[in-house]
């Protein structure tokens, strides 16, 4: 079974700490997981561009799509690539910048109380078996460590409706909804 250390890092992940994070509000309990997709450029998998984006080192001249991302300060807690490899950029104890302006069940600013998980993917393709297997294991350890999460699992599209579409129509919610 996966483990989270006392500093909020998933032991089984590759750790690439970013500067793009801040403190959660005092006394905040982690009570939500937000699922996203990402690929850079869109629908292209592999390479180092996702790492570079979350580390704040993405060269805006490396691809025309990246020009719109110049200066963006983004992060996530976890990224799961197509092969199921996990990278962690922000400790779970801190606030990653993944959901933007958002709300879940009437509670605003989801970044304050959520964990963001990016799956390497796009709006037009299915996720891999490896990604689902690893995501299931990650959710199990997160729910054990932060029991307030319970069944609070949402897509970015649910916490930022009209603004975001991820994790997209190919994400199999039946695998993860209402699992304790």
The structural domains of the chain, with segments of one domain joined by +, span 14-175
Tokens of 152: 């609070």
Q: pTM of the predicted model, to two decimals? A: 0.97
Helices and strands (DSSP H and E) totals, the chain = 3, 10
Q: Would you call 118 a catalytic residue per the annotation? A: yes
Over residues 55-114, the pLDDT tens digits come to 999 999 999 999 999 889 999 999 999 999 999 999 999 999 999 999 999 999 999 999
CATH number, domain 14-175, options 3.40.80.10, 3.40.50.1820, 3.30.420.40, 3.20.20.70:
3.40.80.10
Residue 27 CA to residue 23 CA, distance in Å, equals 11
Residue 112 CA to residue 132 CA, distance in Å, equals 26
User: Which one of 118, 123, 140, 158 is the catalytic residue?
Assistant: 118
Over residues 12-64, the pLDDT tens digits come to 999 999 999 999 999 999 999 999 999 999 999 999 999 999 999 999 999 99
């Amino acid at each position: 079974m996966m483990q989270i250390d006392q500093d909020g890092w998933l032991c089984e992940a590759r750790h690439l700490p970013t500067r793009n994070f801040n403190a959660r509000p005092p006394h905040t309990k982690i009570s939500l997981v937000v699922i996203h997709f990402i690929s850079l450029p869109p629908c292209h998998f592999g390479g180092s561009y996702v790492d570079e984006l979350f580390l704040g080192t993405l060269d805006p001249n490396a691809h025309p799509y990246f020009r719109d991302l110049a200066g963006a300060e983004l992060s996530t807690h976890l990224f799961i690539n197509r092969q199921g490899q996990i990278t962690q950029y922000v400790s779970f104890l801190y606030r990653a910048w993944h959901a933007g302006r958002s709300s879940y069940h009437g509670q605003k600013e989801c970044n304050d109380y959520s964990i963001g998980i990016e799956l390497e993917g796009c709006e037009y393709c299915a996720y891999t078996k490896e990604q689902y297997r690893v995501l299931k294991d990650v959710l199990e350890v997160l729910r054990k460590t932060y029991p307030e999460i319970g069944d609070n699992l949402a897509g970015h599209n649910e916490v930022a409706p009209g603004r975001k579409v991820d994790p997209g129509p190919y994400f199999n919610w039946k695998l993860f909804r209402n699992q304790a």
